[in-house]
Amino acid sequence: MIVIALLAMAVASRGMGEIPLESHEIYVAQTAENMLESGDWLVPRLNGEYRLTKPPLSYWLVAGMATFAGQDHIGASIARAPSVLAVMGVALLALWIGTRLFDRRTGMLSGLLCVASLAAFKYGHNARPDMLYAFWTTAVLAAWVGSRQASLATQARWAWALWVLVGLATLTKGPQAPLILLLGLGLHAVLSDERAVDLWRRLRPVRGLLIVLALVVPWYLLLRQAIGGQTLGDSQLSGALLTIDPLRLFTPFYLLRAPMLWLPWALLLPAAVLLAWRDRRGAAGLLAFTIVFAMLAFALGPQYREIYMLPWLAPAMLLLAAAAVRISWGRVCVAWVIAVVGVALGWLIYEAGLAALPVAAAGVLLVGGAGWALRRRQTPAAAALVAVAFALGLFQGGAVPSLWSSARYDELTFVQALSPRVDPGMPVVVWDIDAAHYSYYLDRPVKGAEALDAVCDWIGRQTAATLLIYPRERRRELAEWLAFVPLLADNDSEFAATRLPPGTACRAPQNAGA
């Protein structure tokens, strides 16, 4: 448990304060910072407007951590801290669930696989609420397993814990993932060996629904009273995006994209499919059924995002770990993983240079040990060793900028160069760019607009000098509307800015009619 917890912290936290925030992370950080500044923890606000796309629990946790740390400004480390802790929680829960469903060896291996996965690295370094959502959903699975194996005297406690966790997940991102998980688990139980009436008694869904409502409804009602029913009803919080299209049922998006989150362990899928087929009514069949059920359920929705399958990271790693332990020819799949991890470590040495040599050397030794264990037909030991090697590689990868989007570094560099030239209180407008970055880094409300006529209208109403930020590639188009001089000298940035005097008026371009 200690090794898994330390590896989880290493994989998810390396570079968390240095890697620039991307847009969705800034939404979380700035909304939480607004709560600290305003003292209003009820209504989420971003850049002076309501933020009604997600429930507030992730904002509350980030703001609470900043308060505990004594910080008024929420930087990248504070914003990402819940996700880092959630990676550790998911891995430890996988260990516990695997021990209950299979054996301790499978549980330990599944915890290592969770840590040494692309999903843990990518979304553990992200302040979005999705990794926290995955933690609550994995905890729901743990409560299900606990209730199924508990005595009649203790089943009620597991049921209450399960529904409290559903409520916390709902306050984080909504009820979709935990309810889809429970539907999949329940359907498999009924199709296998459990009577529906016994399942109903074990889960106590009526009382459970009351628990969820008691956790969620008070905030929702207070929010409705604060902002009005019409505003809340038109928002994503009221389910504006929850539509279902049965014709999309067999769209292969999630079948193709979800395994990307499981890399490099997705190479074990052939063995996992065989194990799930052999154990259709058992633990492996249960895990496989819930994963496929979630893929089909999300395929019915209007938006396709690989991140929707993040709550099924632990079930997938449990199934893959069980396959490595129980399928004899799974050693062939583990050999593929060893080869891929060896290549990845070689690339890391090339990309990071001498700084990566200690970690890379340890990784190479572990990969060699994995190969030796595999030759001795000790497949679980080989998988565990290569998992630790890959986790060390991911730890070093957190300090390699090329693994992250270059756009976020470019935008941060541009803002840092721009900031000394911006007067305190100067109005700022951005054209065809996400306003969140500039509101966060310049520490002020920023007007965002997609149309040039809206930008011109806003500038014309200002009584002070205005800062306009725009994409550099659209400078010629902007020049047809405004006479301006770039504020910064031309550089390699894709962004540019200009300072406009008060009352600046736009001219209508000659091709406006066309």
pLDDT in tens, 311-323: 999 999 999 999 9
> Does this model's pTM top 0.75?
yes
Helix (H) or strand (E) holding 496: strand 495-500
Please give the tally of structural domains in the chain: 3
Asked if residue 134 is part of any domain, the answer here is yes
Among 122-126, 422-426, 427-431, 502-506, the range scoring the smallest mean pLDDT is: 502-506
Q: Which residue has the higher pLDDT, 336 or 494?
A: 336
> Does residue 61 sit in the same domain as residue 134?
yes
> Does residue 412 sit in the same domain as residue 357?
no
pLDDT tops 80 at residue 511: no
Asked if residue 27 is part of any domain, the answer here is yes
pLDDT tops 60 at residue 41: yes
Asked if residue 360 is part of any domain, the answer here is yes
Instruction: Count Cβ neighbours within 10 Å for each residue of 209-240 and write b for 16 or more, e otherwise.
Output: eebbeebbeebbeebbeeeeeeebeebebeee
> Does residue 292 sit in the same domain as residue 378?
no
pLDDT tops 80 at residue 353: no
pLDDT at 336: 96
Chosen domain end from 385, 402, 419: 402
> Does residue 305 sit in the same domain as residue 448?
no
Give the integer Cα–Cα distance in Å for 308 and 130: 8
pLDDT tops 60 at residue 349: yes
Give the integer Cα–Cα distance in Å for 166 and 74: 28
Which of 48, 425, 491, 458 has the alpha carbon at shortest distance from 468?
Answer: 458
> Does residue 241 sit in the same domain as residue 363?
no
CA dihedral 416, 420, 426, 427 (to 10 degrees): -20
Asked if residue 356 is part of any domain, the answer here is yes
Asked if residue 397 is part of any domain, the answer here is yes
> Which residue range forms the structural domain that includes residue 362?
346-402
Tell me which amino acid residue 8 is.
A
Chosen domain end from 402, 421, 446: 402
Give the integer Cα–Cα distance in Å for 470 and 468: 7
> Does residue 361 sit in the same domain as residue 379?
yes
Written as six digits, the tokens of 51 are 């933020």
Asked if residue 335 is part of any domain, the answer here is no
Q: Which residue has the higher pLDDT, 276 or 423?
A: 276
Helix (H) or strand (E) holding 469: strand 466-471
- Which positions ≥6 away from 318 have C-beta within 8 Å? 94, 97, 98, 101, 102, 106, 110, 287
pLDDT at 241: 62
Q: Which residue has the higher pLDDT, 239 or 361?
A: 361
Helices and strands, number each (H, E), in the chain: 23, 6
**143 neighbors 162 (Cβ within 8 angstroms):** yes
